[in-house]
Structure 1
């Protein structure tokens, strides 16, 4: 380490929690009212669901394991104190994240649950004591456990029938995973056929897919040399590699598999956890050599300390140790609590820290336009890894920690996910260090960068012209549910963009009439005459487009397929839609109005009341307390709103300014009108307004419209059909029509098409191969129709 850099400060567990990247709420759980608890649990549930999706589905976590654990522990504490607030979507009931639509769903025979966590030796001793109490064991009877390294990879389940691998799946949300059988078959450490003897006719072997550190580093080095994508850490690499559409790509990745558990089984095969691991080994699986059978809390803590000391030399990433009761009959007696077993727990490692100097802050623009600040650091070793960059998350985190260029900062690798800055050593701050000002324009294309709704991320609004986003936007533009251009896929888009031929949607249509480029395709790119003709035909076929496909194809953030359909029906034609969006773009709320609206207890009604008031410029009641001034200036304002307004006001001049803000800087009527369309809402309406507020986007849209022959007006949906107002779900392999055709026809008849079955579903139309949705329909008593019965109903 550089001699000028001081050693990392010693932080106790309390200061660790205080300094983590995600600020913990100040109010203790036992001091919350039920209303406060409900509001905070809703916020925590939404935040945890977002991080679950980033971690499990996208392999792109934004926070560390330690920060995630803090969020979840507070949510669980709230649920424990207020059990009535628990629901099926509460953190205590949720495992993992929903499965990706990229793969078929696999229903696990036995759910793949998560584990509760322990963070210190005291919690481990409590865990062991709870087990002894539950089992009513004599004080001198020891409890044996199996302690296993907690591999930081991707959980997978392998189903074997008569010793042959028939299916492999990810954990997904714990109940339903993704079918990645073809990819898992490429791993040498996963036997296609079990060896030895004694295995049940049906058994699900579970374990972790991971990348050894040396192999991961070699892959990243080779990818960087070739200008290809690199991965942040082995866990992301394993997740990304296992979710490849092409198994040949997975086969080239250095992945391996440790077996440590099982799910559904047709017959018992062991009496103990340790015996089960030995059986796995005999059947041809790799079992972690550092797994050990020990007795009591002190035995567990000894394994933990040994693994923590050897962690950097293991050759693969671990983020803790898992403890499981050894006797399987005791496991069965202990059972489960909500989402986790009572007989197992994960003892997590603490964060690894060091100090270094922040040399700069770079702003990266993601493929969806998000601006992410990345700290450029003087290189420092943390946990055996040289770190040069760390996440700063977002502008709020920079401001909260007051991180400045030139600062000496405390760096942390928690859970070996993404290095992060957890604090500043203010005594070492240079005299010339100034607060960091986050950019309000995109560093790539110069477009406005805005924050929508309650989102913490600032995003570039120049989606159709921003080089950081353009390929992703073009892929979206030609996708099946947008313009659906035949013969123009990701490979062609990337190639044409690299040659400078396609930079915006209009270029796609210009290409079909550019004989010079088409000649080059034939001569240099190996396109045959038929391929060129088909490409032209695919492009020209979309010069007439429906309004909803056009809106969806623009790729406006928050405007999905269903919202596009709702908007197209609300406005009927392109001219009316564009005029409304342009008017909304000129009527965006000001920053002061947003700040006022975000203030506690300042509701829409209060804002209206303030807008109607006209307090005089000079204070008529100079001797009155602030609460009384507000009550007189804004008659009818409730006490909570008065208190909040008093907190953000220093005197009478502030009150008159806030009244002017409420009156003059709020969203325009047309913006509120768009937001008021059922199924749209204020966030989507504001996203549309920001998109049409950006001149570059207007130029791109106008250029596209010049290439189209017609945008089809929307026919009003039928209101007197047999299915008007009904909710319909299509499932299975439809034979009489495509899924898109079925959906479009149903919606034209006034039906709502849903992707999931509930008690509110009216009809499920099931084709061959219908699976879980058909079972859900039977469970809820929903009417199930064949395709022919559906056609007869709507004819």
Structure 2
């Protein structure tokens, strides 16, 4: 027992020194003394393996090899943020908030938007349990072993007021000083330096050897706690609480009592951000009250209660050398500017999007022009203007192409659309390759061992002509291809076989029906249950489905009217692809609330808001995000939003207490 206590005391002391040094920037022990104590702990743990602890300070040194990062579903979805680029945008945002909440006094938490890799870390009983990348927001990669090497991430929390389980979100960043040192070391040994801190930080999380991650000076800045029964009522209190638990929460965050104070925060950091040790590209403004956050809820992609204000984008001038044209999987033509290489926002830019013929004509962009390139909040740089004073003499206006650059088919442009299209849907190589690449993508069939370049290689060698052909590939066919060894060929075939278990909604998204994205595919799959029901739907049937408009409906009809698509689907069925929703059996499910729409508002005593919404859906009801004439009931808890209360009364919609609702379903 004495040895166990000695080990635990050493762990506690080393964790405290780690916290003082990496979170508070206040070292209380020399590096030498720290290393001596760490070595002492390592010796004891090796001698007494029965006292092993995965969250011991000795586990930060890395050494774990991860060949494949497991995909993990987020318990609480990681949303992206809506962007704003002007103070007028923020004022309009506040107006929208007030329309939903009523004329309430809003306070805001202002935080700097750090440019890093998003992470969600789960803690159970005060100990680090799992760390998962953002991924697509619904699921990400388990990078726990690599995150444990980051010294500013606590392995064990301070205090005792934390919930039994919660998630904390943050950004993994690479401080500028550390990034510059890494690049200097590479230059000295004749290697190519990294392009920018953000990409380097993101790439570090997926290194297979965690001991390599240890060598990189990564930091983790935390900004949001999510979970049940959290011990605070506001975002700002959440930041203070997380800091007390031992997390590195940026101290630049500020509580703003009105929008004017938000603007002061933005103005200050627009000037002083260059003094920070990290890259930041804007300010995140959040409604401070967590109750108001719950009232406002989410759109399909973003929380309504938060807005990112992006600082004005960096802009550079360079010369347009030529214009080329790319063909997408839907046949859309995208003009691309080929530029004299120029440094922009940490990367060398050689190409930029020109969007469409209208944009080229509007800016009167010509080959040889000096153009202004901007990156802003977008990944792909864009040309936003021309320096007419530097235009060479005798340049001619750009004439947009009339034929597909790949198959020479005459381009078409539909009325009301900005893009030109190649109509040779089943004969144009980039469209065929693009559709297969979309089909195998992570959000669709997620076929391991098969990437975009390999798809192009398979097509070029006549092995695939559509995505159904993938399921007939053999190792013997693949082996002769360039860069293909026995193991990689086997992985590809196994990955294709494994994709037969992908659920129907993702298969439907993977089919590449125009305008049918992830959200629409989920709604169609949930409504129609299987591909046969969907294929027989009429235009009227489709537009009656929630959030399906006429444009989407017509696209679905066009897809299933095509004989080639019908043949591909039949082949996929024969290969065993999932074309039917697998209903999860819920023994408590009923149809008591069928045909009824409920809106949930307020704070509840027995169930959480999410549990109430699930109870509605489990019993056949529909959960609405806002009160309309189609709302049948409002389930109201304490502190119901005054705007919702007023609207419910105005429309004579019955308001149920939590107990009254529970009586309905019992």
TM-score, with structure 2 as normaliser: 0.50
In structure 2, relative to structure 1, the CA distance for the partners of 1:688 and 1:355 (3 Å cut) is farther
Name the SS for the 2:146 alignment partner. coil
What whole-Å deviation, never above 9, does each CA across 1:625-656 have from its counterpart, x for those lacking one?
Answer: xxxxxxxxxxxxxxxxxxxxxxxxxxxxxxxx
Alpha-carbon separation, structure 2, partners of 1:282 and 1:337: 28
- Cα distance in 2 between the residues matched to 1:134 and 1:568: 48
Q: Quick check: 1:263 aligned with 2:226?
A: yes
The answer for the alignment partner of 2:147 in structure 1 is 187
1:425 Cα deviation after fit: 3.8
Q: What are the residue-to-residue correspondences of 1:6-45 with 2, within 5 Å?
A: none
CA root-mean-square deviation: 6.8
Distance 1:156 1:289 in 2: 19
Counterpart Cα distance in 2 of 1:713 and 1:498: 22
Name the CA distance, whole Å, in 2 between partners of 1:411 and 1:528: 40
CA contact (8 A) 1:148 1:323 kept: yes
Q: Which residue of 1 aligns with 2:320?
A: 358
Q: Matched residue of 1:398: which SS?
A: helix
- 1:411 to 1:404, Cα distance in 2 relative to 1, 3 A: same
Residues of 2 paired with 1:345 and 1:516: CA distance? 53
Q: 1:167 to 1:494 in 2, by over 3 A?
A: same
Contact 1:358 1:409 (8 Å CA) reproduced: yes
Alignment of 1:400 with 2:362, yes or no, is yes
CA change 1:204–1:445 in 2 (3 A) is farther
Give a deviation string over 1:386-414, Cα, whole Å, max 9, x none. 54432222233223333222333333332
**Superposition map of 1:222-237 within 5 A:** none
Alpha-carbon deviations, 1:527-586, whole Å to 9, x = none? 799x89x99x99xx9xxxxxxxx999996757999897469769xxxxxxxxxxxxxxxx
Cα deviation for residue 259 of structure 1 reads 0.7
Q: What residue is the counterpart of 2:626 in the other structure?
A: none
Q: Aligned with 2:75: secondary structure?
A: strand
Q: Does 1:198 align with 2:167?
A: no
Residue aligning to 2:127: 164
Q: Secondary structure of the residue that 2:231 maps to in structure 1?
A: coil
C-alpha distance 232-393 of structure 1, shift in aligned 2 (>3 A): farther
Aligned partner of 1:494 in structure 2 is 454
Give the Cα separation in 1 of the matches to 2:359 and 2:480. Answer: 50
**TM-score normalised by L of structure 1:** 0.43
2:270 corresponds to which residue? 308
| 2:399 paired residue number | 437
Which of 764, 778, 782 in structure 1 is aligned with 2:618? 778
CA contact (8 A) 1:411 1:419 kept: yes
Say which SS state the counterpart of residue 457 (structure 2) adopts. Answer: helix
State the alpha-carbon separation in 1 of the partners of residues 475 and 208 from structure 2: 38
Residue of structure 1 aligned with 2:584, choices 729, 732, 751: 732
Cα separation, 1, equivalents of 2:318 and 2:479: 56
Checking the alignment, whether the CA contact within 8 Å between 1:157 and 1:171 is kept in structure 2 is yes
| Structure-to-structure mapping, 1:544-559, within 5 angstroms | none
* Rg larger in structure: 1
- 2:250 is the counterpart of 1:410: no
Assess, with a 3 A threshold, how the Cα gap between structure 1 residues 551 and 404 changes in structure 2: closer, same or farther: same
Q: Distance in 2 between matches of 1:393 and 1:366?
A: 13
Contact 1:552/1:564, CA 8 A, preserved across alignment: no
**What CA deviation, in whole Å up to 9, does each residue of 1:354-398 have, x standing for no partner?**
444322222234455543222223445556665443222223322
Distance in 2 of aligned mates of 1:341 and 1:495? 37
Which stretches in structure 1 are left out of the alignment for 5+ residues? 1-101, 138-142, 223-229, 542-549, 571-677, 693-697, 715-727, 735-756, 762-770, 783-795
Distance 1:456 1:293, change over 3 A: same
Contact preservation (8 Å) 2:175, 2:219: no
Given that 1:452 and 1:687 are in contact with CA atoms closer than 8 Å, whether structure 2 keeps it comes out as no
Q: CA deviation at 1:201?
A: 2.5
Question: Which residue in 2 is equivalent to 1:504?
Answer: 464
The aligned counterpart of 2:112 is 149
User: 2:459 & 2:303 partners in 1: Cα distance?
Assistant: 56
> What is aligned with 2:637?
none
Instruction: Please say if residues 452 and 686 of structure 1, whose CA atoms lie closer than 8 Å, have aligned partners that are also in contact.
Output: no
Specify whether residues 498 and 286 from structure 1 end up closer, same or farther in structure 2 by C-alpha distance, changes over 3 A only. farther
- Partners of 2:551 and 2:293 in 1: CA distance: 46
Among 97, 100, 106, the residue aligned to 2:75: 106
CA deviations 1:187-236 (Å, max 9, x no partner) are: 244847433223412464543335548699989xx9xxxxxxx9998778
Asked whether the 8 Å contact 1:475–1:489 carries over to 2, the reply is no
Aligned partners of 1:351 and 1:415 also within 8 Å: yes
User: Which of 335, 349, 352 is equivalent to 1:390?
Assistant: 352
User: What is the DSSP-based 3-state SS (H/G/I as helix, E as strand, rest coil) of the residue aligned with 1:280?
Assistant: helix
Change (3 A) 1:298 1:711: closer
CA 112–568 in structure 1, closer or farther in 2 if over 3 Å, else same: closer
SS in 2 for 1:197: coil
Distance in 1 separating the partners of 2:452 and 2:346: 42
Question: Residues of 1 paired with 2:84 and 2:430: CA distance?
Answer: 39
Q: Sort the Cα spacing of 1:473 and 1:301 in 2 relative to 1 into closer, same or farther, 3 A.
A: closer
String of CA shifts for 1:420-456, please: whole Å, max 9, x gaps: 2223344544443333233344434445554567554
The DSSP-based 3-state class of the residue aligned with 1:490 is coil
Match of 2:281 in 1: 319
C-alpha distance in structure 2 between counterparts of 1:344 and 1:515, whole Å: 50
Partner of 2:338: 376
Q: Distance in 2 between matches of 1:512 and 1:344?
A: 48
Helix, strand or coil: the match of 1:731?
A: coil
2:25 match: none
Checking the alignment, whether the CA contact within 8 Å between 1:168 and 1:180 is kept in structure 2 is: no
Alignment check: 8 A CA contact 2:463 2:469 kept:
no
Secondary structure, counterpart of 1:504 in structure 2? coil
Distance 1:711 1:683, change over 3 A: closer
Whole-angstrom distance in 2 between the partners of 1:460 and 1:322? 41
- Which SS does the other structure have where 1:397 is aligned? helix
Residues 2-35 of structure 1 deviation map (CA, whole Å, 9 limit, x = unaligned): xxxxxxxxxxxxxxxxxxxxxxxxxxxxxxxxxx
